Amino acid sequence: MTMTDDGFALPDGFLMGASTSAHQTEGGNTASDWWAFEQLPGGPVAEPSGDAADSYHRWREDMDLLAGLGFNAYRFSIEWARIEPVRGQVSRAALAHYRRMVEGARERGLEPVVTLHHFTSPRWFHESGGWTGPEAVDLFAAYVRTVAPVLDGQVRYAATLNEPNMLALAHTALRQGAGFADFRTLEPADYISEALITAHRTARETLHGLLPGVRVGWTVANQVYQPEPGAEDVCRAFAWPREDRFLEAARDDDWVGVQSYTRTRIGSGGPLPVPEDAERTLTGWEFYPAALGEAVRHTADVVGPGVPVLVTENGIATRDDARRIDYTAAALAGLADAMRPGGSDGEAGENTAGSGGVDVRGYLHWSALDTYEWGSYGPTFGLVAVDRETFVRTPRPSGRWLGEQARAGRLAVR
C-alpha cells in the first residue's frame, strides 16, 4: 500500500462498495416487529415503510447498478421475519430468494457481506420476549442454522447483529417509556446488553461449526466520544456501556464492523449539544467527516490488532450531493491515515494496530440507495436516488465518483 501523487493505493482484495438493510429497502416486511410498530395508532412513527425501495423484487437492478459504478462489494441483510414468519414455519421460498441474491452478487463481481439481523425480528419473536425472552439465544441460533445454507460456499463475511449497542438502547428506551431523542443520555440496561452479547457469541460458534470458511463478526455504532478538557474519566465511563462493551465482545471475532457518521462531545455533565455554528446534516448530526478515521483507530485500540476492521457504514444524509462527495472524501482521507503505519506517507507493510496502521479490509458506504430511515424517507443517504412513486433508480454523481475510486483501487487523498 502506498501514498502517491495519485492518492492512496488500496491493498489487494480491499472491498469498496455500499450497504443496505432488508427492512429499509425491500418493502412489505409485514411479519416483522418493526412493521407492527409502524402501524400503531398514534404511535411515534410518522411514516411507515410500506413498499420501501421495492428491492425485494428489484435487487438485480440494484446490484447491476453497483457493479456498473465500479464497486466490488455489497452489504445487505437477510430478513428473519421472511425466513420464519411464524415460529417453526420456515419459508423455503425466502431461503431460495436470499440464496439467489448471494449468488447474484457473486455473478456480478460483488463480494456479498451478509448481515443476519439488521434491527428487525419476527413479530412472534418480539411477542415471546424478544432478546430477553427465555429462549431468545436458542431461537436465534436455530435461525442461524436455518440460513447457513444461504451462505455456504458463497459468503466470506457474515455479521450476526447490526449495531447491538443501538438495539440495546432501543430496547431500554421502550421498556422505560423514553423517546428516541433520549438516546444521547440513555444507558442500555445491563441485562439486554448481556443477552445480545450471548446471542452473538452463540451465533458465531454456530456458524463456525457449520461453515468454517465464513468469517463472523458484528457491527458497532461508533459515536466517536470526545472529552472536553478535564472530562476524560466521564467520557470513558459514558462510552463503556454504550460502545466499548460491545467492541470488547468482538475480541474473539474474525472481524469487526465500524459504523461511523459524526462525533459526540462529552463534558463534565455528559454529552454536549452540537455547536451552534456547526453544519448539520438532514438527521441533525454535525457534519464531521473526521469521525471515520477516529472511530477506526478507537475500535482497533479496544479490540486489538488480531481483529481486522470492515467499515460497514459511513455516509451523510443531504440534499446536496456535492457535500456528500466533500464529506466522503474527507472521511476517506482519515481512513487512509488510520491505515497507514505511523500516519505518514510511504510503503505500507502488514496493516495492524500494533504496527501503527489499522488492518482495514473494506469500506462500505451507507447507503447504496435512498432508504427508509426508521420512521421517515426524508434523510437521503443514497449514492443512488430512488423515486418514491416509480422506484426508478438514478445514480448520483457521488456514486460515480466513489465508484471510480473503487475501480482504480485508490483513494483520491493527499
* CA 270 – CA 324 distance, rounded (Å): 30
Contact between residue 56 and residue 26 where contact means Cβ atoms under 8 Å apart:
yes
Angle, vertex CA 107, rays to CA 106 and CA 113, nearest 5: 20
Has 163 been annotated as catalytic?
A: yes
Question: Does an H or E element contain 271, and which?
Answer: strand 270-271
Distances (CA, A) of 231 to 243, 269, 276, 286, 321: 17, 9, 21, 21, 36
Q: What is the dihedral of CA 296, 260, 98, 133, to 10 degrees?
A: 100
* CA 301 – CA 371 distance, rounded (Å): 32
Closest alpha carbon to 272 in 315, 231, 243: 231
Phi then psi for residue 4, to 5 deg, are -125, 180
In the set 163, 243, 294, 313, the catalytic residue is 163
Contact between residue 117 and residue 158 where contact means Cβ atoms under 8 Å apart:
no
Half-sphere exposure of 196 (CA within 13 A, CB side): 31
* CA 169 – CA 186 distance, rounded (Å): 7
* CA 356 – CA 367 distance, rounded (Å): 29
Contacts of 214 (CB under 8 A, 6+ apart): 151, 155, 156, 157, 158, 207, 208
Phi then psi for residue 159, to 5 deg, are -105, 130
* CA 143 – CA 329 distance, rounded (Å): 39
Query: Which residues form the catalytic set?
Result: 163
